[in-house]
Structure 1
């Protein structure tokens, strides 16, 4: 498996947008223009390839980014050095094959290489996403807080994993 950037190809952005909408509410639904802006602002917008086939994507930010997500701002106010996973989607046909775990292992390697002390992310608890909570805990993430978003429609668990 390898990660590669998606910054150029419109076809791959179309696929990422379709997956993003398919996996809402576990990842935040966005209008197409907002999704494009997210990819353009991100530190990295990466596709996951498995045996030459695109299997998923993720969007990451470093600390100090010009990004107004409530969840990102929580981490940016609390930590000096981190890599934030804004969203990660593994296509349904590729789930439960170890791809998500491999992606996070690669992210941890990238974080260390870039000098980031932590990986940060959030997981919905309202609406519930218990599989994701269990998955992140199995990788060594710990909950550091919870917050309501979207005017109280959502509640997230804020998670971090130390990279040192």
Structure 2
């Protein structure tokens, strides 16, 4: 498997990936994402800013994620452990539905952690919709610690903020 920065010519495939993921999430009663998000404009911006990364397996996109230092205003109320200001934020992490159930999400999180360490970050922050039990269990199982609940105005249910402090070897 390869963890690579997305290229412009991959954008149609990436948009299709997120559309498929949203459909599967909605079919499973998880309305974390919808038709309006993540939309092609958001994904195009991620790509143009160089923040969109892919996990490729056998030439296909197995997973995708956006990595940067940007965060939502709601993050300001969270009691983060790492106060250095040197954190990486994970956005729009998804696994291709045809690769789900193969441990790809754990591999992608390992790649994100390696990326963060290589680039000198001291911690990783991310969040997920609390009704998304698979994601909640995944993050806790990979050593991420719950830091607090918050609400986005577009959702009825809360989100959980997670953090993982990194140990550099």
Residues 96 and 152 of structure 1, relative CA distance in 2, 3 Å threshold = closer
1:41-86 CA distance string (max 9 Å, x none): 4x52111111222212111113xx4x6x3456667x9741111111
Q: Which residue does 2:63 correspond to in 1?
A: 56
Q: TM-score, normalised by structure 2?
A: 0.79
Q: Which residue does 2:138 correspond to in 1?
A: 135
Q: Which residue does 1:16 correspond to in 2?
A: 14
- Correspondence for 1:100 among 90, 102, 105: 105
Q: Which residue does 1:33 correspond to in 2?
A: 41
Contact 2:127 2:159 in 1 (8 A): yes
1:109-143 CA distance string (max 9 Å, x none): 11111110111110101xx1001101111000011
1:23-42 CA distance string (max 9 Å, x none): 3334462332233223334x
Residues 135 and 145 of structure 1, relative CA distance in 2, 3 Å threshold = same
* Unaligned runs of at least 5 residues, structure 2: 23-30
Q: TM-score, normalised by structure 1?
A: 0.81
Q: How many residues align?
A: 154
Contact 2:123 2:164 in 1 (8 A): yes
Contact 2:129 2:157 in 1 (8 A): yes
* Unaligned runs of at least 5 residues, structure 1: none
Residues 115 and 141 of structure 1, relative CA distance in 2, 3 Å threshold = same
Contact 1:71 1:158 in 2 (8 A): no
